[in-house]
Chains A and B, each alone.
Chain A
Amino acid sequence: MALTAWFQHFFKKNGIVLSIYLMSAVLLWMVIMIILPQVFMLDFSFRFNLPPGKIGGEEDVYTISNYRFLLFGSPGNPDPYNVIDTTVFFRTILAAIFVTVFDLLLCYPIAYALAIVAKGGTARLMVLSLIVPFWINEILRAFAFRILFGSSGVINTVGMTLGLWDTPFDFIKADIALYAGLGYAYILLMIFPIYNAMESLDRNQLEAARDLGAQWWRIHWRIVIPFSKPGIASGCTMVFMLSAGALAAPQILGGPSSLWFTQIIYQWFNTGGNWPRGSAYAIVLLAVCILFVLFMMRVFKVRIGEIGR
């Protein structure tokens, strides 16, 4: 009943043509772009990697062997579980958490400056200078970071000229370049949700707190952060999901010994030619990321509806 009433209201409000367009666009987007690929991936992940001729044949049955491989490796594996893949998996999750926290610490003050401190023209100039660098292609930006952090790069040159260190420091091997690149790649996705939430904060509340004697950190802790929590949650979710699923930056900026879980997935799909196994790996990454985000939302008492604001 409620649904028919909703449809009637929707059609009345938007008119027939617009209503049909909106609904079919959303439906197409949902089904073709989001649901179908994931369903196929899920289906793939439970199948054997068969040559094209055998697909649909007698041997094409469901299996959990791909998931078992992620956990225990090949049958000849001497270890009790698949050390390489699981280690890379957890390291990727940890690194994504690190990038998220780093971005939050970096972007919260920027968002605060934009939303509360800066006035008209200054704020616009700040937004512009934040956005313009992102006109440059992601791959190019990653290579630019490689040059910056290289052994004869700007940072090493400046550091050594100032006498901060003597021999060129290998930022790439230490994964500093990777973290910096990933962190920078998603700052806008962190800044704007927080800025958006913060902007509607009544400035008088800040003055009232100050008038009652509150120090700057308490004003943030008790008033600004609780108020912008939905924005912080949505920024953190996006940055975490995207950095856990990043491919280009780890590929270009990662050190020789560091492997990102997405790179393993990529290998299974591409060089390994094993789509079912790649799908299984991708599904596990997706599921764990979603569960982790939901868990963190529970911990910080954020409701899913708030994130959309």
Chain B
Amino acid sequence: MSVDVKLEDVWVRFGSFTAVKNANVTIRGGEFFSFLGPSGCGKTTLLRCISGFQEPTDGKILFDGKNMAGIGPNKRPTALIFQNLALFPLMSVADNIAFGLEVRGIGKAQRRKKADELLDLIALPGQGDKKVGELSGGQKQRVAIARALAVEPEILLLDEPLSALDLKLRQHMRTELREIQKRVGITFIYITHDQGEALTMSDRVAVMSEGVIEQVADSVTLYDRPEKPFVASFVGENNDFRGRVTSVSEGYAEVETSEGLFRGRVSEGNRDALSGSGPASIFVRPEALKIAGTATEASNAFEANLLQEEFEGNMRHLVLESKGGQRLRMTLVNDGHVLDYGPGSTVPVVFNPELAIVLPQEA
């Protein structure tokens, strides 16, 4: 039922502009897979390649090993949900949902039956005779999903379908999308620039930047073990200390920064790139920074000036400025203790090398 999608050395060029550079990724059947990246990173182009609206300039797209070159969007086992949904405003809700079946020459009664079934699935029972314009944003969203599911695709492609909804509805639809995916059991390929969406819904995420797939991993790995500086700073918040590598040992490296010598983890893949004293960054999450005295680490200590405190109830966000003039963020859990430092005072800061990631920077 579900189909593996494999991109092999895919390049897409528009004139002198290269939208996708050498994309290689295998999306497993039945997986909820997201492409995450800022606008213009090439993720929509990749989606259009998979759906068949765009032919790659170079490389192959394989569905279960079968090359899709030259096969049009109407002949692929994919269904695409558009960013603006693209429902047909002059048709009823049921006609919208059953359009794909009408195309396949299925009789009226049977179409209606299938549409009603799908309306039940998306929790809009009995609304088939309404006009599309009478539905709310979230309902339209669900109708678009039903319309795509009606043709029983093996791969559902979603192009930022939640971006037009308000925050509450968006969060609700995340859960709903995930549930629908589990129920129908087909491959979902999801495009978004919203990391919250990508991280909460997906089995795996591909982070893209400027046409390049930077890293493919599950949400936890992306957040805790980024492999590229772009991933480290794009996914979640991060403090980026720049410097030069001084030594690399088993699983760790030391970086000389303007704040001192810091130690952090190094992945297998980045080890070679870090040997030699190249430029590197050590990334530390705001929640990994601690105030010395409340934690026990001896290494990775420095001092910073407290600029301001943002109180969020369960969290405290401290905005700090290091001696070298770098802005830093520290997040503390509100455990009931009163903070000993006021704005303007000097705070001793430490962090655990386990929670710091050393990544090579381009020279």
CB-CB contacts of B102-133 with A at 8 A, as 1s and 0s?
11100000000000000000000000000000
**Which of A205, A208, A213, A226: most chain B Cβ within 10 A?**
A208
Set of chain B residues within 8 Å of A212, measured between Cβ atoms: 74, 79, 99-100, 103, 147-148, 151
Q: Is the CB of A202 within 8 A of B84?
A: yes
Known A202-B84, A204-B84, A222-B99; judge A211-B90 contact (CB<8 A): no
Q: Is the CB of B103 within 8 A of A223?
A: no
CB-CB contacts of B244-272 with A at 8 A, as 1s and 0s?
00000000000000000000000000000
| CA of A204 to CA of B147, assembled, Å | 14
CB-CB contacts of B72-88 with A at 8 A, as 1s and 0s?
11110011101110111
Find residues 216-245 in chain A having any chain B CB closer than 8 Å to their own CB: 218, 222-223, 226-227
Known A205-B86, A205-B88; judge A213-B103 contact (CB<8 A): yes
| CA of A212 to CA of B91, assembled, Å | 15
| CA of A213 to CA of B105, assembled, Å | 11
Set of chain A residues within 8 Å of B87, measured between Cβ atoms: 205, 208
Set of chain A residues within 8 Å of B102, measured between Cβ atoms: 218, 222
Q: Is the CB of A214 within 8 A of B86?
A: no
Set of chain B residues within 8 Å of A43, measured between Cβ atoms: none
Set of chain A residues within 8 Å of B73, measured between Cβ atoms: 207, 210-211
Known A211-B80, A213-B74; judge A226-B90 contact (CB<8 A): yes
Residue B281 at the chain A interface, CB threshold 8 Å: no
Q: Is the CB of B99 within 8 A of A211?
A: no
Q: Is the CB of B84 within 8 A of A218?
A: no
Q: Is the CB of B103 within 8 A of A204?
A: no
Residue A209 at the chain B interface, CB threshold 8 Å: yes
| CA of A5 to CA of B158, assembled, Å | 49
Q: Is the CB of A213 within 8 A of B104?
A: yes
Find residues 247-301 in chain A having any chain B CB closer than 8 Å to their own CB: none
Find residues 188-218 in chain A having any chain B CB closer than 8 Å to their own CB: 202, 204-205, 207-215, 218
Nearest Cβ on chain A to B106's Cβ, whole angstroms: 11
B53, B75, B91, B148: which contacts A207 (Cβ < 8 A)?
B53
Set of chain A residues within 8 Å of B100, measured between Cβ atoms: 212-213
Q: Is the CB of A223 within 8 A of B88?
A: yes
Q: Is the CB of B151 within 8 A of A213?
A: yes
Set of chain A residues within 8 Å of B192, measured between Cβ atoms: none
Set of chain B residues within 8 Å of A210, measured between Cβ atoms: 72-74
A202, A207, A209, A215: which contacts B99 (Cβ < 8 A)?
A209
Tell me what chain A mostly uses at the interface: helix, strand, loop, or mixed: helix
Nearest Cβ on chain A to B215's Cβ, whole angstroms: 29
B74, B75, B90, B104: which contacts A227 (Cβ < 8 A)?
B90
Q: Is the CB of A222 within 8 A of B74?
A: no
**Which of A205, A211, A223, A226: most chain B Cβ within 10 A?**
A211
- For chain B, give the interface size range: 20 to 34
CB-CB contacts of B49-63 with A at 8 A, as 1s and 0s?
001110000000000
Q: Is the CB of A204 within 8 A of B99?
A: no
Q: Is the CB of A214 within 8 A of B99?
A: yes
| CA of A291 to CA of B84, assembled, Å | 42
Quick one: closest B residue to A209, CB to CB? B99
**Which of A212, A213, A222: most chain B Cβ within 10 A?**
A212
CB-CB contacts of B324-336 with A at 8 A, as 1s and 0s?
0000000000000
A208, A213, A218, A222: which contacts B86 (Cβ < 8 A)?
A208
B72, B78, B82: which contacts A208 (Cβ < 8 A)?
B82
Q: Is the CB of B88 within 8 A of A222?
A: yes
Set of chain B residues within 8 Å of A214, measured between Cβ atoms: 74, 99, 103
| CA of A214 to CA of B98, assembled, Å | 12
| CA of A148 to CA of B99, assembled, Å | 48
Q: Is the CB of A211 within 8 A of B88?
A: no
Find residues 29-72 in chain A having any chain B CB closer than 8 Å to their own CB: none
Quick one: closest B residue to A226, CB to CB? B90
| CA of A214 to CA of B148, assembled, Å | 13
Set of chain A residues within 8 Å of B91, measured between Cβ atoms: 222
Known A202-B84, A205-B86, A223-B88; judge A211-B78 contact (CB<8 A): yes
| CA of A214 to CA of B104, assembled, Å | 8
Nearest Cβ on chain B to A223's Cβ, whole angstroms: 6
| CA of A211 to CA of B82, assembled, Å | 11
Set of chain B residues within 8 Å of A227, measured between Cβ atoms: 90
Quick one: closest A residue to B79, CB to CB? A211
Q: Is the CB of B86 within 8 A of A202?
A: yes
**Which of B80, B83, B86, B148: most chain A Cβ within 10 A?**
B86
Set of chain A residues within 8 Å of B82, measured between Cβ atoms: 204, 207-208
Q: Is the CB of B74 within 8 A of A207?
A: no
Set of chain B residues within 8 Å of A205, measured between Cβ atoms: 86-88
Nearest Cβ on chain A to B157's Cβ, whole angstroms: 9
Set of chain A residues within 8 Å of B80, measured between Cβ atoms: 207-208, 211
- 7 closest A-B pairs by beta carbon, nearest first, are A204-B86, A212-B100, A208-B86, A213-B74, A213-B103, A204-B82, A214-B103
Which residues does B use to contact A, with CB under 8 Å?
51-53, 72-75, 78-80, 82-84, 86-88, 90-91, 99-100, 102-104, 147-148, 151
Beyond the given pairs A209-B103, A213-B100, A222-B88, 13 more chain A to chain B contacts, judged by CB atoms under 8 angstroms and listed by A's residue number, are A202-B84, A202-B86, A204-B82, A207-B82, A207-B86, A208-B88, A209-B88, A211-B51, A211-B73, A213-B104, A214-B74, A215-B74, A223-B90
18 pairs across A/B with beta carbons < 8 Å?
A202-B86, A204-B84, A205-B86, A207-B82, A208-B147, A209-B88, A210-B73, A210-B74, A211-B52, A211-B73, A214-B103, A218-B102, A222-B88, A222-B91, A222-B99, A222-B102, A226-B90, A227-B90
Which residues does A use to contact B, with CB under 8 Å?
202, 204-205, 207-215, 218, 222-223, 226-227
